[in-house]
Structures are given as C-alpha cells and as structure tokens.
Amino acid sequence: MRRYLTLGWILAAIVTLLPIGYFILRVGHQDFRDAALGNLFATILGIIVGVPIAVEVNRRQEEERTRRNQSRQVSAERLRSRALYHRLREELIHNGHTLDRIRDAMAESPHSRTDHWQWILAITEGFKVDAYADLIAHAPEPAFPWDLDDALRLAFSMLTGVSSRAREAAAAHAFYYGYRADSDSANKYLGYVRDLAREGNRRVEEAIELFNRYRDLFPRPETNE
C-alpha cells in the first residue's frame, strides 16, 4: 500500500513540475511571454467573471430545490389533512353507533346489575380513537375550521367520559351491593351513565353534521378535486 502511495506522489510531482520547467525554459522568448500574459489575463478575467456567475447559478439552483421540497411538503401535509378529515368522520360515525348500543343495553333494565354492567363495559371497549390520537399528535395543515375542531374535540371528550364513568359505575355497583346492599345508590350511577351517553350522542351528531358541512373543503385523497 505504501509503495502505491509513493508512486502516486512521484507522478503528481512530475505532472506539476513539467509545466513549471517548460515555463522557465521558454520565458526568455518574447512570443512566449506575450502568449503567456494573454493566457494569464484571460484566466484572471474568466475567474473574475465566471466565479460570480457560478455562485449565482448555484444559489438559484439551491433556491429552486428548496422551493420544490417545500412544495412537496405542503402537498404531503394537505394530503394528510384530507385523509385525517375522513378518518375522523368515519371514527365518529362508528363511535356514534357504539353509543347507540350502550343506550339500548341500558334500556334493557332500570336497575343496576352486575351482568348488565359487564355488557355495557364490553360495548365501551368498541370506542375507536386512533384518528383522534393522530390529530392530537400532529395538527393538520391546513387546519380544520375552528367550529369543527371544537366540536370533534368535545365529542371525543364525551366518549372518554362515558367510558370512564361506566367503569366507575360498575365498580360502585360492586361496592354498594357487596358492602351494604344499597340498590338505590347503585341505580343512581346507572342514571348518570345513561345521561352522559345521551349527551355524548348529541355531541357526536353535532360533530358529524359539521364534517358533512365542510366535506367539499377536504375531498377524499383518492380524488383529484
């Protein structure tokens, strides 16, 4: 390896010294000096003129690359916003149906029962919040209209409330019946969850109505509108 490096340096030295030696040998001739000075002047002029032009061309190319990258990023964000819009709408529709099933299950008995709460809790596990989690993690660009954004956040907040209150009510039922056979207190929790589910259903329907109102602003990603 060292031998190849030494040979390379020797060749580089030869290539460098040959023009210098040629210049020294020919510098005494007038014609050579005139030609050399002409070439030197042309080289200097080329550097003076060419370097700024090259720098400007490079700057404009860099700006163009930056604009293209920004344009691609904006297009990607717009596509994500449109996709998220329809994912959230479909998620709310699904959760609205889940609330309907909860209310139907609660209507099956006016009294708090262990098997009743097991049924209700099983239904609450069907709530979907994947699209909403994406919304919280990364706000869409362009942003959703403010009234839609407020409505969907409130709707998902109500879904969380229904789920957590149902778990609390099931635990309260086990306590009141197991500790002191207090059916009245257990039944109150049934009413709390029923009212909360009714309000959650109303909030979800309001959000879906707003999604339908602004649908033209966020066409599905597979279309070219």
Distance CA 17, CA 94 (A): 82
Range name among 73-77, 86-90, 189-193 with the lowest pLDDT average: 73-77
Of residues 174 and 39, which shows the higher confidence score?
Answer: 174
Residue 39, pLDDT above cutoff 80: no
pLDDT score, position 203: 95
Please state the φ and ψ torsions of residue 206, each to the nearest 5 degrees: -65, -45
**Average pLDDT of span 182-192:** 83
Mean pLDDT of all residues in 44-70: 72
Domain ranges of the chain: 2-63, 78-217
Q: Where is pLDDT greater, at 182 or 125?
A: 125
Query: Quick one: which H or E segment has residue 188?
Result: helix 183-213
Return the percentage of the chain with pLDDT > 70, whole number. 75
Burial of 93 (0-12, 13-18, 19+ CB in 10 A): middle
User: What CATH fold (topology level) applies to the domain 78-217?
Assistant: Four Helix Bundle (Hemerythrin (Met), subunit A) (1.20.120)
Q: What is the pLDDT of residue 4?
A: 46
pLDDT at 158: 94
Mean of per-residue pLDDT scores for the chain = 81
- What local confidence, expressed as pLDDT, does residue 225 receive? 45
Distance CA 24, CA 1 (A): 35
Alpha-carbon distance 68 to 65, whole Å? 5
pLDDT on residue 114: 87
- The number of residues in the chain equals 225
Longest dimension (CA), the chain: 122
For residue 157, give the 3-state DSSP assignment: helix
Mean pLDDT, range 186-200, rounded to an integer: 89
Is residue 81 predicted with pLDDT exceeding 70?
Answer: yes
Q: What is the mean pLDDT of residues 72-78?
A: 83
Q: Is the pTM of this model over 0.75?
A: no
On the question of pLDDT at 131 being above 70, the answer is yes
Q: What is the structure's pLDDT at 124?
A: 94
